Amino acid sequence: MTPERFAKLKSALDRRQPDLTVFMDAVNKSRNVSAIIRTADGVGVHRLHALATGGALRRHHMIAGGARHYVGLTLHSSTAAALTALRADGWRLVAAHAGPKACDYRDVDYTAKVAIMVGAELDGLSEAALAAADSQVAIPMHGLGTSLNVSVAVGALLLEAERQRRAAGLYGVSRLTRADYDHTLFEWCYPEIAERCRELGREYPKLRDDGLMAANPLLDVVAD
């Protein structure tokens, strides 16, 4: 871990937005999931939510270059379970759905605690997600097509959220809790050691100001 790399990771973590997320309601094409993860990382989303279709989301669908290591992912066993969990955590649910109830996507306040909900390419959002939404938004279309690719639509919505949040100063100071910040920073800096610590049930060591570990938590571990 070089000082330059450590500073770059801290700078990105300082701008993470813990109260902005996307819920992928059965988005099942790997290229779309990958693009959504990369865009989420680009605007500072700290954690995504997704429906684990068939009981487990296939991990190869989560490949998005290096971004997959830097955006958390919470999997839900059903849409109902996801909606219950998001509601219990205080998220405002914004459905991307070009229906009669939809407003222009730029007319929504994304500086609040907002979860943007998107559905699969062909089927769109489930009826349960639409029924639970606090608002529905659509991107105006000026051509013959009626909608954008789901990953492109998410990109437009997240960039609007980034614009509003930047204007509100939400990127100017770290907004993670100290515990979440330190935990995430260690996982970003030392992902393999972090994984081994989790396997062994050990706490992560503190990091020094130069990014090096204050102590090696695996010195007593015999290699397999």
- Please state, in angstroms and as integers, the Cα–Cα distance from residue 83 to each residue in 90, 110, 126, following that order: 11, 19, 11
DSSP 8-state class, residue 208? P
Amino acid identity of 159?
A: L
The topology under which CATH files domain 18-167 is Alpha/beta knot (3.40.1280)
- Closest C-alpha to 42, from 50, 34, 54: 34
- Closest C-alpha to 45, from 136, 125, 162: 162
- Please state, in angstroms and as integers, the Cα–Cα distance from residue 218 to each residue in 37, 187, 212, 221, following that order: 31, 15, 14, 5
pLDDT tens column, 145-182: 777 889 999 999 999 999 999 999 999 999 999 999 99
Whole-structure pTM value: 0.89
Query: Could you tell me the pLDDT band of residue 120, with boundaries at 50, 70 and 90?
Result: confident
Vertex 49, ends 154 and 193: CA angle to 5°? 115
Query: Could you tell me the pLDDT band of residue 53, with boundaries at 50, 70 and 90?
Result: low
For range 126-131, the mean pLDDT: 94
Q: Domain locations in the chain?
A: 1-16+174-224, 18-167
Report the C-alpha gap between 105 and 22 in whole angstroms. Answer: 15
